[in-house]
Amino acid sequence: MPTTTLVIDPTVTTGVSLAQVVEEQCGEKVRDCYQCGKCSAGCPVVYAMDVAPHRVLRAAQLNQKDMLLKSNTIWICASCHTCATRCPCEIDIPKVMDTFRRMAIAEKVRPAQPNALLFDRLFLKSVELTGRLYELGLVGFFNLLSKQPFASMDLAPAMMLKGKIPLLPSRLKGQREVGEIFKRVEEVEKEGNQGIR
H or E element at residue 189? helix 175-191
pLDDT tens for 67-105 read 999 999 999 998 889 999 999 999 999 999 999 998 998
In the predicted structure, residue 168 carries a pLDDT above the cut 60: yes
Nearest in space to 10 (alpha carbons), one of 51, 64, 60, 57:
64
Residue 104 zone, left/alpha/beta (φ > 0; ψ -120 to 50; rest): alpha
| Whole-prediction pTM | 0.70
The whole-number pLDDT of residue 5 equals: 53
Calpha distance 7→100 (Å, rounded): 18
Domain boundaries, the chain: 18-106, 116-186
Q: Among residues of the chain, what percentage have pLDDT more than 90?
A: 41
